[in-house]
Amino acid sequence: MKKSQHQRLPRIERLHGGKPVLQKILSHPWENKVTFNPACVFVADQRELARIIPNLPFDERTKELLRKEPGLCFLFYRAQGMKTEHYDYTRSSIGLAVLDAKLNLLARHSEPVLLPDQDYDNLGVEDARISKVGDTYIMTYTAYSSHTPNNRIRIALAATTDFVHWTKHGLLRGEFNTIDNKNAMLFEGTVEGKYLMIHRPMEGEHPMSIHWAEAEDVMGTWKTRGLLMKPLGNPGFVDTWIGGGAPPLKLEDGRFLKLYHIGNRKADGSREYDLGAAILDFSKKEIVLRRDEPLLRPESTAETEGDAELGVNNVVFICGAYFWQDDLYFPYAGADSVVLGGKIPAQDLEAYL
């Protein structure tokens, strides 16, 4: 599949003037350094919200504020703090915030909802993606763990019904998760009776490319279907790779809109992460119908300049997106340091699709 050049790319609006939607809180040791790579779940069903809101860890005044919203974006962001005498907060954990449909912050939990507390994720729980399966929300996340001779990076699963209390279900079952692998996410619903997943192996055949897998049961054994999308060369860089981005968004005609990330490395070793878009149709022999990149490159200060000590610059990174009133909204990370908001207006999106 070659890059599509025959249509203009959809316009992306940087919300709130490009200023962060969410950033570190100095008084919270677990997130006093960086907050980034946000997954999201958008809920507009009022019966579902009526069930979820009473269990949230906020005061009654805040809950009343949330009840007035026509829809809520539940944000699950990766956070890191500093190492202290008693605990190493540089190990990533997952925090919870609640935003309105247009990505304005409404409430934020003071404690993480997922911690690196198991042998298989003891060095960090990272880069969550979340999809609903039946009445349960399933999180796929990157489990970073200590190992000899090299630390391990694999896919793990957790589940919840209230967004606050998560049950870990261990490492994903499947041969492709016995090697270093990450950037995993579920498709909405089933496709031809099977659950589908995107993943990105870091070794083996076609590494650092987007692969797909299928299973009869989300908690069962997954089988890879192999390569779905491989990196496209970029003449401005010496190396390019891609990864899953946000869970694919189902369109009315059975196709899927896939927003993904593109990593690039320059000759001097510096990197740039961009966003790309693809349209998928699993009823076709050639699944990837079209593909466009870059859709978004780092340009604003929040995207080009990260935490001074960590030294990560020039990154836009996505782990979730949703439709609201025909517009496409997506929270995303800027320079591995803050959470920003983006939007593709309905008119631009319709022309693209």
What domains can be seen in the chain, in order of their start residue? 20-171 (2.115.10.20), 231-353 (2.115.10.20)
* 256 strand-pairing partners: 250, 280
> Which pLDDT does position 7 carry in this prediction?
58
Query: Which residue ranges of the chain lie beneath pLDDT 70?
Result: 1-7
> Which pLDDT does position 284 carry in this prediction?
92
For the record, the structure tokens of 305 come out as 């300049």
Other Cβ atoms less than 10 A from the Cβ of 210: the count is: 25
For the record, the structure tokens of 133 come out as 């399966």
For the record, the structure tokens of 265 come out as 């490395």
Q: Are strands 288-296 and 34-43 parallel, antiparallel or unpaired?
A: unpaired
Specify the 3-state DSSP secondary structure of 12. coil
Quick check: pTM over 0.75? yes
| Contacts for 173 with CB less than 8 Å, ≥ 6 apart | 219, 220, 221, 222
Q: What are phi and psi of 142, to 5 degrees?
A: -85, 120
Q: How many residues does the chain have?
A: 353
> Which pLDDT does position 4 carry in this prediction?
46
Specify the DSSP element, H or E, that contains 51: helix 46-52
Q: What are phi and psi of 18, to 5 degrees?
A: 80, 5
